Amino acid sequence: MELDQKHPLAQELNHRPKVTVLGLESSCDETAAAIVEVSASGEITIRSDCIFSQTEQHAPFGGVVPEIAARAHADIMDGMVKQALTEAGLELADMDGIAATTGPGLIGGVLVGMMTAKALSLGSGLPFLSINHLEGHALSPQLAAPLAFPYLLLLVSGGHTQLLAIEDLGRYHRYGSTIDDAAGEAFDKTAKIMELGFPGGPAVEKIARTGDKTRFDLPRPLAKRVGCDFSFAGLKSAVQRHWHSLKAPTEQDKADLAASFQHAACDILVGQSKKAMRRFISEFGATHLVVAGGVAANQAIRSQLQELARNNGFGFLAPPLRYCTDNGAMIALAGALRLQRGMVSSLRVAARPRWPLDELSAKNNPASGSGKKGPKS
Ligand code: KG4
Ligand code: ZN
C-alpha cells in the first residue's frame, strides 16, 4: 500500500487523545458515510452511521448492475457526507482524516467514494486513508463489541467468502476463500432459479423454514479436500438441475429445495470453518470465531457456527447485521486505527477492482485464479 510518511500530520496524530475519521463506502450497492472516533486507549465511538441501500434499483434485474450502482453512488455521495457530519454534530474541520474504500469492488462505485475522499482531503489538508474493503469487514466486529486481536473471521457476503486469521491491524492471513461464487451469490442465484426475488438470502431462509432439508441430495464441494477453500458453483448448478426436473413445482417443492440448499451451504461453511479453527488453534490458540457479511444474518448458519465455536473452546461473535453488511463505520474505523499508527495514504493511490487482503497468500495460492488484474481474492 502506498503510504505518505511525509504528511505533516502522519507522525503527530498517534499522540492525540482521540482521532475522528470520516469513512466513505461505495464498492457495491450501499452508499455510506460515517464518523468514528477512537481514543488513545482503543475505545471506539460511532458518532454517525449513514447508509443508503440501492436494493430497490437493482431488484428488477435480479442482481447488482454496476453502471446503475456507480451512477446512484455519484448522485448521493455528497449528500451522505453532509448527513454524516450533521448527525454527528460535527464539521469537516473537526475530522482528523478522511477514509474511503479504494477496492476491491465494482470500479465505478469505488471511484466515486475514493474521489470524494481525495477531494475532501485536498481541500481540507486532512490526511487521506485508502482502505481495503475487506479490512473494513475484518475490523467491523469491533464496532459491536470490544474484541481483542487475534481472532478468526468467516466473511460471508454477496461478494466474498473467506476465512481469515486477523492477527493485528494490517496482519491478515487468508486460510481459505471461494474458488468460484460467493456464498451470498449462491443464495441469490438459488432464489433467482426459484423466482423468489432479490436479494435472495432472506427469501431462501424464509421459505426454507417450512421445507424438508433432507429431500434433495446436494453436493458439498471441496469438503473432503485438504485446505479451507470454498466452492458454491456446483451447488447452484445442482439446485438448477433439481428445479428443472420438477414438472409443476409446488410451494412445498420450493420449500424443500430451499431447505436442502441451505442445509448444504451451512455444511460447507461449518466444515471449512472447522478446518480453519484447527489451523488457527495451532498458530494462535483458541480465541474468538467471528462471522461477518450479509449471509451472517442467516439464523441456521449463525447457530451452527455458534455450536462449532462452543465445541472447540472458542468464543463466538456475530455482530448485529448493521455492522455485518457494507457500512461506512467499518471504513472510518479502519481509517482511524491506521491514522493512530501514522499510516497515512498517498493521494496517488489508484482504485483497485481486485485487491486481496493477504496479497502474499493470494499470489502464492490464487484460489480463484489470477490474470492481468491480479488474484481475485
Ligand atoms: O454483505 P452484504 O450486504 O453485501 C455484500 O455482498 O458485500 O451481503 C449481501 C448478501 C446477499 O447475497 C444476500 O442474499 C445475503 O447477503 N443475505 C443472506 C441473508 N441475508 C442477506 N443470505 C442468507 N441468509 C440471509 N438471511
Ligand atoms: Zn462487503
Please indicate whether residue 135, judged by its CB atom, sits closer than 6 Å to ligand 1. Answer: no
> Ligand 1 atom closest to Cα of 137?
1
Q: Which of 43, 37, 44 is nearest to 13 (CA)?
A: 37
Model pTM score? 0.89
Q: How far is the CA of 153 from the centre of ligand 2 (A)?
A: 14
pLDDT for the residue numbered 158:
87
pLDDT for the residue numbered 264:
98
Q: How far is CA 50 from the centre of its chain?
A: 17
Average per-residue pLDDT for the chain: 92
Q: How far is CA 374 from the centre of its chain?
A: 20
Residue closest via CA to ligand 1's atom 13 equals 201
Contacts of 99 (CB under 8 A, 6+ apart): 21, 22, 23, 24, 117, 128, 129, 130, 131, 331, 332, 334, 335, 336, 338
- Residues with a beta carbon under 5 angstroms from ion ligand 2: 157, 326
Cell numbers linked to 25: 463506502
Alpha-carbon distance of 111 to 31, in angstroms, equals 12
Number of alpha carbons in the 13 Å side-chain half-sphere of residue 90: 19
CA torsion angle for 99, 105, 106, 107 (degrees, to 10)? 60
What is the DSSP pairing of strand 151-156 with strand 288-292?
Answer: parallel
Please indicate whether residue 207, judged by its CB atom, sits closer than 6 Å to ligand 1. Answer: no
pLDDT for the residue numbered 375:
45
Choosing from 28, 53, 157 the residue with most ligand 1 atoms within 8 A of its CB, the one to mutate for a pocket test is 157
pLDDT for the residue numbered 243:
97
Q: Which of 219, 308, 310 is nearest to 272 (CA)?
A: 308
Whole-angstrom CA distances from 367 to 174, 175, 181, 215 are 10, 10, 12, 32
Q: How far is CA 72 from the centre of its chain?
A: 20
Contacts of 75 (CB under 8 A, 6+ apart): none
Q: Helix 233-245 crosses helix 251-284 at what angle (to 10 degrees)?
A: 170
Contacts of 217 (CB under 8 A, 6+ apart): 260
Model pLDDT for residues 348-360, shown as the tens digit of each residue: 999 999 998 887 7
Q: Which 3 state secondary structure label does DSSP give 333? A: helix
Beta pairing partners, 130: 100
Q: Which 3 state secondary structure label does DSSP give 372? A: coil
Using CB atoms within 10 Å of the CB of residue 240, give its burial: 0 to 12 exposed, 13 to 18 middle, 19+ buried: middle
Q: Give all domains of the chain, ordered by start, each with its CATH number.
A: 12-142+325-353 (3.30.420.40), 149-318 (3.30.420.40)
Please indicate whether residue 20, judged by its CB atom, sits closer than 6 Å to ligand 1. Answer: no
Model pLDDT for residues 158-175, shown as the tens digit of each residue: 888 999 999 999 999 999
Residue 340: in which H helix or E strand, if any?
A: helix 329-340
pLDDT for the residue numbered 374:
43
Please indicate whether residue 181, judged by its CB atom, sits closer than 6 Å to ligand 1. Answer: no
Q: Which amino acid, 140?
A: S
pLDDT for the residue numbered 366:
62
Which residues of the chain register pLDDT less than 50?
370-377
> Ligand 1 atom closest to Cα of 185?
12
